[in-house]
Structure 1
Amino acid sequence: MRSFLRHFTFATIVSTASLFGASTKASAQTYPIDCAILLCLSGGWPASEPCSRARAEFIRRITPWPVEPPLQIWRCPMGASFEPVDDPGRTPRVFDILFSNASHLPQSLAESDPENAGALLPAVLRSKGVDPLPQPDGFALHLIQNRADIDISGPEFNFVRSIRVYDVRYAQQVESRDSDCSRYEHIRLGTYGTQGDFSWSRSSVAALPEAHVGLERWGDHCPSIYHRSVFVDWRDYEGNYGFEQVNY
């Protein structure tokens, strides 16, 4: 596990050095933000300018309205295509950040290179000096827009599936004139599937994590409560817990 994170972090940094570097402010903003969110989240949001931007975007997405998936892993090209012609005007791709060995994922060269048209080349770029990681069983390239473009079903990606988003549209508790207590709630829970696909389901006040604040007196002698918030929590690669809450 630890070796995965070391390879993951090092390979990504090598591959994106020109993006995270301080050559110009503009170039530092050209890397895919969801790749930065993925990397920084796994490492527990280390202190750096790219991770500060990534965390700010992560939180912005859960700030109403609308509430978006905080990590949109389908926007991070982890199984990036190889492009034989360097196009400086195109956002650079990422890259050999995860899986590589002698069995390369094949990809046909673009027609812009007639001499090698039809040749099969590795579909990911490789970072020099990084020891290859074995491909997991069932490794596959996914070409679906709402999930990761590689297989992330292994336990090393549990930190992605640990993310939970609680959208408390409203939670109201009020005592009527005849001393009856009325409670109304509309809460959605957003979770990530095996391949990083995001979905919503119904939830409740009782399911909110202990770290959530604002509804501690729910069900307690019917004090007047009206609460709205979005709460997101997660665990990083090492299992450390983190959360953010936005009230509105």
Structure 2
Amino acid sequence: MTTLGVIGYGAIAREIVSAFSADAIDWVMLLREGANPELPAGVSAVTRIEQLIDARPEAVVEAAGQEAVAAYVPALLEAGIPTIIASVGALADAPLHARITAAGRNGGARVVLPAGALGGLDYLRAIAALPDARVRYTSRKPPVAWKAELAALGLSAEDDAVTLFEGTPAEAATAYPKNLNAAFAVALAVGADKVTVRVIADPKAGGNSHEIEAESAAGTASFSLVNAPSAGNPKTSALTALSLVAALRDLLDMDLLGMGGRR
């Protein structure tokens, strides 16, 4: 049996667990104090990071939001446990980013930043060294995904698209900590200073749309992904959990080959 850990037990975590055979994995979930979800067979819960570390999982997936990245990921890496970060927007905090990098180096553990709901990041990494590279990332979702945000602004997107935000990746990660991890994944690939982020509530959107437009001396490129929303959370693409599962499988394969980087 392989032991794996997950921070949180929301919609994404449940999808991750269900993607693996129940008789092959012992799951250890790190939950907040007082949480009491109904857990399936093969899944146990702890409430302190020390307990998760003591379980010695082969890897841990963070699926609980940016605050969880700051609270738990450095300790896991210091303990030599490879960690997959879903809430990559947390790395907009430069001191935290530095802490995580140092912790991974000190513990000899890999930090994995999956593509999440996106594609095309390899192209962005390729043009990152070009000084003239410029990228615009647009998140376009149906109004139901932004119901609270529209109400707070006194806006309606029943008939026409409404731009809720335009700014830098760091501003986007701060303004929408639960919803714009994809924007900061773009920033990490090409450089935050090269990226502009837009958020649009669009009644004509057929799903959670991610649009990337890039220009540089290497040429121009555009990527458009229309992802079905997660059944458990309409603000999150179903592809997000699939990406985390793929990253976890890749990480486990590397460990089996002796390439995982753990002490």
Normalising by structure 1, we get a TM-score of 0.27
The structure that is helix-richer by fraction is 2
Between structure 1 and structure 2, the one with the greater Rg is 1
| Larger RCO: 1 or 2 (CA < 8 Å, sep 6+) | 2
The structure that is strand-richer by fraction is 2
